[in-house]
């Protein structure tokens, strides 16, 4: 019985150690992790904002939606080139609002 408990503790400690040592999937080389099977370039945080929208529903929940474009997409849009050239990337980011009593007290 003591051996089983000792072995179980050893396995848990080993698993915890490996979890801390091994980098997260897709993060070893600093690249962004894949989302829906698509790997987003690491420089996406530097893309320019093209549009923003705040969608509200009657119950005060909603989404903040923004669209971003890399330099190739922005330049093509400004020049009116359709279809966009190879390498142009347009992305959408959406944040869903979650009501919070703490936030509501501060934001009133």
Residue 90 forms part of a structural domain: yes
The encoded tokens of residue 92 equal 């959408």
**Contact present, 99 and 61 (Cβ < 8 Å):** yes
Cα separation, 78 vs 70, in Å, equals: 12
Residue 107: inside a domain: no
Convert the pLDDT of each residue in 49-95 to its tens digit: 888 988 876 666 688 889 999 999 999 989 999 999 998 988 888 88
Range of the domain at 67: 2-26+42-98
As for how many domains the chain has, the answer is 1
Which pLDDT does position 60 carry in this prediction? 63
**pLDDT for the residue numbered 105:** 80
More reliable by pLDDT, 15 or 73: 73
- Two tokens at 13? 């400690």
Give a yes or no: residue 62 inside a domain: yes
**φ/ψ of residue 96, rounded to 5:** -95, 130
Sign (positive or negative) of CA dihedral 27, 30, 33, 37: negative
């Amino acid at each position: 019985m003591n051996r089983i408990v000792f072995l179980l503790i050893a396995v848990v400690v080993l698993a915890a150690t490996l979890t801390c040592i091994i980098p997260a999937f897709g993060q070893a080389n600093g690249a962004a992790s894949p989302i829906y099977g698509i790997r987003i370039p690491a420089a996406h945080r530097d893309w320019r904002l093209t549009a923003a929208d705040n969608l509200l529903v009657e119950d005060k929940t909603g989404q903040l939606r923004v669209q971003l474009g890399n330099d190739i997409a922005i330049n093509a849009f400004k020049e009116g080139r359709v279809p966009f050239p190879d390498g142009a990337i347009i992305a959408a980011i959406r944040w869903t609002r979650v009501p919070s009593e703490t936030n509501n007290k501060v934001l009133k």
